Amino acid sequence: MHKILLCEDEENIVSFLRPELEYEGFSVDVAPDGGEATRLFAENKYDLVLLDIMLPVKNGLECLRAFRKIGSVPVIMLTARKEVYDKVAFLNAGADDYVTKPFDTLELIARIMRNITRFESGEGAFPAHEVGLHIDKEGYTATVDGKPLKLTKTEFEILAYLHENAGKVKSRDEIIHAVFGDFYGESNIIDTNIKNVRAKIANLTPREVIQTVRGKGYLVRRP
């Protein structure tokens, strides 16, 4: 039986979601605030976390950062916010997926199963080809699920380079050399541009296209 930590302070959501999850065969612990969520996560082994952004005591981002210091189980954000910035902030902090409230329970359960299956199989993030990422270097265009990505020249070249090297982790220095050649500025120019690309992608799909590999660099998974 898979065990889920539901971090949610809205009783009406807990009252309908917990029974639905238990009906599907999950064991569910509920944390009504961020302090309790952090404690339960540290004391128990979970297969997945459903994490609300707006929690009392500690907010969702603080909880997520605390979780990632302990383990790497899938975390799906539950958010009423639709701003792209918020979604990108949580993906950058290590969230695996997000669902915007109000959500369809069947879709949420499908996402839960998919994330658990991927984690258990060692696949990790959603591969780029499932997102429908397409790069046309000659036409200087990029699309996700057939939807155009409006990128700057630098953003396009960074994404194109990572896509060309799908399946390989590329360091900031390697990306800088590939995109700029000799460059004597700050390496955070790569982080800034990737953050912008992620924001634009997040506006089109919840899937993670560019994965951060801590201490090493960035990766687009091989199709």
Lowest mean pLDDT among 41-45, 157-161, 186-190: 186-190
24 with 71, same domain: the answer is: yes
Burial class (CB in 10 A: 0-12, 13-18, 19+), 172: middle
Report the alpha-carbon distance of residue 83 to residue 199 in Å, rounded.
10
* Range of 46-50, 134-138, 186-190 with top mean pLDDT: 46-50
Non-local (6+) Cβ contacts of 137 within 8 A are: 160
Using one digit for the tens of pLDDT, what is the confidence trace for 13-24?
999 999 999 999
Look up the domain containing 211 and give its range: 128-220
Residue 130 has pLDDT above 60, yes or no: no
pLDDT value at position 201? 86
132 with 114, same domain: the answer is: no
Average pLDDT of the residues in 51-80: 89
Higher pLDDT, 67 or 133: 67
Residue 219, classed as helix, strand or coil, is: strand
Q: Which residue, of 90, 121, 152, is where some domain finishes?
A: 121
Report the alpha-carbon distance of residue 208 to residue 49 in Å, rounded.
17
Using one digit for the tens of pLDDT, what is the confidence trace for 160-217?
999 998 878 899 999 998 998 876 566 688 999 999 998 888 888 766 788 887 778 8
135 with 197, same domain: the answer is: yes
Report how many domains make up the chain.
2
113 with 141, same domain: the answer is: no
208 with 134, same domain: the answer is: yes
- CATH number at 216 reads 1.10.10.10
Residue 126 has pLDDT above 70, yes or no: no
13 with 102, same domain: the answer is: yes
pLDDT value at position 17? 96
157 with 211, same domain: the answer is: yes
pLDDT-based confidence at 85, cuts 50/70/90?
low
Closest CA to 34 of 66, 81, 1: 66
pLDDT value at position 91? 74
91 in Cβ contact with 198 (< 8 Å) = yes
150 with 210, same domain: the answer is: yes
Percent pLDDT > 90 in the chain is: 45
The two three-digit tokens of residue 199, written as one number: 């924001």
Mean pLDDT, rounded, of the chain = 85
Higher pLDDT, 142 or 203: 142
Q: Which residue, of 70, 98, 121, is where some domain finishes?
A: 121
25 with 105, same domain: the answer is: yes
Q: Which residue, of 121, 154, 175, is where some domain finishes?
A: 121
Please give the model's pTM, rounded to 2 decimal places.
Answer: 0.58
Residue for token pair 């630098």: 154
Where would I find the H helices in 98-171?
105-121, 128-131, 153-164
83 with 143, same domain: the answer is: no
182 with 100, same domain: the answer is: no
Residue for token pair 């639709």: 82
83 with 175, same domain: the answer is: no
- CATH number at 53 reads 3.40.50.2300
